[in-house]
Structure 1
């Protein structure tokens, strides 16, 4: 059996070629979820929807929609650390193959649920899909296995570029297909794409991480216990809290904005999916164009405060009563600003710890992101059932609370690596 060093050495000559299957997995994962986040909104909120009880109020429809969309990220909160631990124990390839198989089956169940109008089956399938597509978290590990530290950011950037493209293509292609043929065909297409992706991984993906004997002696449940350090790791608690609040505000806004556009402006499936794709595109511009320019030139703490404040302002300006196009324009401002906030605050957290804790700390932050998304979706949908403006006000206030904590609890001199923080939180004073 090849060692981890030998595996990494084998991959070094052509890392981009070796990473194509991983990029495909991540891209397909976000392509499918982007379709869910947009297509399910008009599907559930329509007065004639066969997926909710006849005569259901808008408040009940919004609540059911929130629960439905919450299941996917909540499943990822559980699935991400577990799949990560399994990939450390058994290697990346078998876990990727197994999780892709689960995801493919889950999309088959989604198609059946849509065809039979069984909401409970649709809910079960979304939860299973979230567990399977938590394999997106393994993608960063594969990049780390395959690349040298100095070139790693470039290949991670390629991966997030794929995510941005998926968030643009998913709503546009899925919306156009659903508007013409109904809600099930886009997910049938996803089923075929997943089957092709699974075949690609089986044939072309080679192992990048040899099974670790030390990982084999650990219990998988311990990986979930690592999440408790977001409360017990005192030097990092404020960083985790700020990131979590921004996750709630940004992910909640990006999920509920479609409900707002449908409810207030009565947009069609095709219209709302195009608008959502436009917001995803502007967020991608923030991550791929603006952020690289600012890195090294602007302090990440200051950038986090400014971008989060602008994001809160943009969310509030969406409520200006001037038509759907104006709401989308201000939503684009909020999307760019929140994308910059997202990246800068994650970077601030990463800079606070040494290299030996990067995986655990950023893994916790990823899980907090999924949890924040779930809370934002459910809470936003419940409030939207009362008034479509309420979620926007709430998310703006949450973002401003993050700014206050960032300014008062995290000082500029803290955003450096120091010995006390670099130790494991269970060692010594931390």
Structure 2
């Protein structure tokens, strides 16, 4: 579909993605201090369980919700329209943040976990944002548009942790109240400036039929190459989530940082991620996309392995955490763009929804398994991440060969 004011639409999507992602990223630097570095109470020692185990369950609740929601959100945006689905998901996310803030204020652990799950159900809307960017091609270059969107997403990962870490001392509920306010701003921007972009698909089907037949997992039977890519991307996402979810705990245990210190480290990493993504969008790259993704997967694997060995050297470890932002940014800019082009016939919303689904499956697996491993040693989670990223790099070589033959 050709639309007018493409650059304004891209800017609007980026602003919505920025504020939405900031809300998703905000809890990362504050949950570890809340559970592991706070005075014991009925919240962080619920039923006498280890705080690290409670932290793992809390970390898993949100991506579990995103997992269930993202399997349908992308496909529903193909059927109902991007604007309508994005509006509905933002409204529900707003309600979820308010419920989370109340759970922290009342020190109600089970309600907190439920609120994080409910919020996650609609936070998979980044798939819709990516689908809108894909809709703008060929009026706007797809690779550069994805690079710009990724840069904005990384900026959200910078802004969110900074807000969370700096406002946590004001009260544990305060960051989530601020996130709810950011979502309201998202809604205002969306309603004012975002038109419908994509051609609606599956109009001959009822909404229930779309939900049954057009969820993200059905794509795995539609294209053998995509099915192989699924397992590769799942392995890489397990490694990435091992890093994202547990480097704050590494910083608490080995570098003795509080929420503000974790927020600063996260901000520095996100500055590098944003810069790398912007430069990639402006300068482009000479290597084949999947080969460039494979190289950066190897660098992530080596970085995680190195971090697991630096427990006694916290400052080099902090530097390595920051530097890992570069290969992560390059990989995450390249792969969605390639998938968007290669599997466009399957529906941009569905394809982007599948990528979000993969990330969330890995997020849940790592949160649950990682919480058990951290009881033994936090570094074991990083070793697991290094192994799965290395495995993904090997599998990606096979995907490259199969894509070339196809």
What TM-score do you get using the length of structure 2 for normalisation?
A: 0.88
- The match for 2:171 is 182
Q: Distance in 1 between matches of 2:176 and 2:89?
A: 18
* Residue pairs, 1:308-327, within 5 angstroms: 308-318=297-307, 319-327=309-317
1:42 equivalent to 2:33? Answer: yes
Structure number with higher relative contact order (C-alpha < 8 Å, ≥ 6 residues apart): 2
Radius of gyration: which is bigger? 1
| Contact 1:27 1:163 (C-alpha < 8 Å) held by counterparts | yes
Q: Distance in 2 between matches of 1:249 and 1:397?
A: 8
1:192 aligned residue (181, 194, 200)? 181
Q: Distance in 2 between matches of 1:105 and 1:348?
A: 35
| Contact 2:73 2:124 (C-alpha < 8 Å) held by counterparts | yes
Unaligned runs of 5+ in 1: 419-430
1:358 Cα deviation after fit: 5.9
1:31 equivalent to 2:33? Answer: no
Change (3 A) 1:355 1:185: closer
Unaligned runs of 5+ in 2: none
| Contact 1:238 1:410 (C-alpha < 8 Å) held by counterparts | yes
- The match for 1:422 is none
Q: Distance in 2 between matches of 1:322 and 1:373?
A: 27
1:136 Cα deviation after fit: 2.0
The one-character-per-residue Cα deviations of 1:352-411 (angstroms, maximum 9, x if unpaired) are: x3541362444323311221222223322321121111111111111111223234x345
Q: Distance in 2 between matches of 1:198 and 1:343?
A: 26
* Residue pairs, 1:363-378, within 5 angstroms: 363-378=353-368
1:311 Cα deviation after fit: 1.4
Q: Distance in 2 between matches of 1:383 and 1:402?
A: 21
Q: Distance in 2 between matches of 1:247 and 1:225?
A: 20
Q: Distance in 2 between matches of 1:411 and 1:197?
A: 38
The one-character-per-residue Cα deviations of 1:37-88 (angstroms, maximum 9, x if unpaired) are: 221111111251432227946xx21222122122222222221232233333
1:285 equivalent to 2:278? Answer: no
SS of the residue aligned with 2:196? coil
1:122 equivalent to 2:109? Answer: no
What TM-score do you get using the length of structure 1 for normalisation?
A: 0.84
Q: What is the total number of aligned residue pairs between the two structures?
A: 402
Change (3 A) 1:293 1:416: farther
1:122 Cα deviation after fit: 1.3
SS of the residue aligned with 1:265? coil
The one-character-per-residue Cα deviations of 1:295-340 (angstroms, maximum 9, x if unpaired) are: 2x12334333332222111112223245322111122333322333
Q: Distance in 2 between matches of 1:332 and 1:48?
A: 29
RMSD (Å), alpha carbons? 2.7
- The match for 1:159 is 149
| Contact 1:82 1:223 (C-alpha < 8 Å) held by counterparts | no
Q: Distance in 2 between matches of 1:378 and 1:338?
A: 23
Change (3 A) 1:370 1:130: same
| Contact 1:78 1:224 (C-alpha < 8 Å) held by counterparts | no
